[in-house]
Amino acid sequence: MRKFENHNYITKGLQPEKVFRYFEQLSQIPRGSHNEREVSNYLLHFGQSLGLETIQDDVLNIIIKKPGTAGYENAPTVILQGHMDMVCEKNADTEHDFTKDPLKLYLDGDLLKAHGTTLGADNGIAVAFAMAILDSNDIKHPPLEVIVTVEEETGMGGVIGFDKNNVSGKLLINIDSEEEGVFFASCAGGVRANLKLPVERKPVESKGYHLMIKDLKGGHSGLNIKDGRGNAIKLLGRLLNELEVSFDLAHIKGGSKPNAIPREADAVIVCGDEEKLRSEVERLKKIYNNELLQTDHLDIAIKEIAKVEFIYTEECKSQIISGLVMIPCGVQTMSFAIKDLVESSLNIGVLHEKDNKIVFESALRSSVRTLKYEMLERLQIMAKWMNCELETVADYPEWAYNPKSMLQDLFKKIYKDTTGKEGEIAAIHAGLECGFFAEKLTEVGDGSDLDMISFGPNMANVHTPYEQLSISSVTRTFEFLKQILAQIK
């Protein structure tokens, strides 16, 4: 078990002290999806050290229960919920091993960031909030059941494996949102879809050129899909399709997470006219940057490679490039019920080769279940056209809006009373675990007897190395949560 007695806290002096202390401790423990055992054990020990009923289930989810404080013993039980895993993204020039290295936090004015990597505020801040409340003797609250899940970022494996018999609460506060004063009451469902194209190669002996699209903003493939940011994989496919110079393709890859808009993608090609190649790349770079002028910016680097030994066959090259050009990506439909809400979208987030197949990994999202499967049907048709396999994984449900929610009314009231501002009840174009909890923690599986809401402090650029968390917003949001809990009697 990791020890923190001599840790030099970057966040020392920030308030609330316990929230930032626990968040920084979490940042020292590697907790990428599917690598949560150490952080799960840390939370197990934490709950047990407080003398609280603590459960570590078969998939490493943690449940910690705390009785209500004086006067709240008979209040309805409230579930506080978040996930312990994080998206592990880093800049290409950053040396960091997410399986063993602690994050390197630093302060930038009102912002907390990490050097060259994701910060893990999504969703470590939820865990830190819950830990600070569990480790308190002066915060009024009803009986609490804290649920901290695993594998949320890679298909929600934790909530899928969650045993509903471990909890009894019917009020659930999810702390996995990223805009203060915006309270989510509905979310999109999603599914991951992988096109797998068999590849064929032939030997060559030639020098080559490494082309790399880089420096794009990236971002969350749900929250940022409407922001007009460039998708490096799609742009690479377009680049290869629009080059007016003859070339062979030797290698191609891009992105690292299906739920992140890819910032980088690269290919190795063989081309006999270097001068023409460089001229074409510069021409297309100007075109793409002009198109992205209001939303993003890219660079395209070219580096000579001394020796290339294999290239894809001409037919295989054509299939790869055509697939990249044709695969749907971006906003597909907007909601007519909720202003500015993306209703359906796709994001090709990863392109790589595995088992002699090029794999196109996409994340599909929709708040309308039938539209989610309509997008999947388009990919199935595309798979037949490309003569390749379509694999689907991590299919998760949407969370339907509840017009009779007590929590919605309470959140709006307390927010108005404490800030003088109107809180916003909204829907989010991202997958929250609330959809699964609606199915698991209700009698009929439709969420009708489970009241849920999602909120959180201000953060930006999640799922990228530019992730940042507002310190002052954490302070305000934690105080707001304390006010909410005090009102549930």
| Distance (Å, whole) CA 140 – CA 142 | 7
Burial zone of 63 (CB within 10 Å; 0-12 exposed, 13-18 middle, 19+ buried): buried
Take residue 196 and report the two structure tokens written for it.
């797998």
**C-alpha neighbours within 13 Å on the C-beta side of residue 71:** 9
Q: How far is CA 48 from CA 51, 145, 307, in A?
A: 5, 14, 58
Take residue 280 and report the two structure tokens written for it.
């074409």
* Site of tokens 């936090």: 105
Say which of 152, 179, 215, 361 is annotated catalytic: 152
Q: How far is CA 346 from CA 212, 234, 261, 353, in A?
A: 23, 12, 10, 21
Told to judge if 152 belongs to the known catalytic residues of this protein, a careful annotator would answer yes
| End-to-end Cα distance, the chain | 37
Say which of 36, 85, 89, 433 is annotated catalytic: 85
Evaluate whether 263 touches 464 at the Cβ level (below 8 Å). Answer: yes
Q: Which helix (H) or strand (E) holds 79?
A: strand 78-83
| Distance (Å, whole) CA 350 – CA 255 | 5
Identify the bridge partners of residue 299 per DSSP, sorted by sequence position: 214
| Distance (Å, whole) CA 360 – CA 353 | 9
The residues assigned a catalytic role are 85, 152
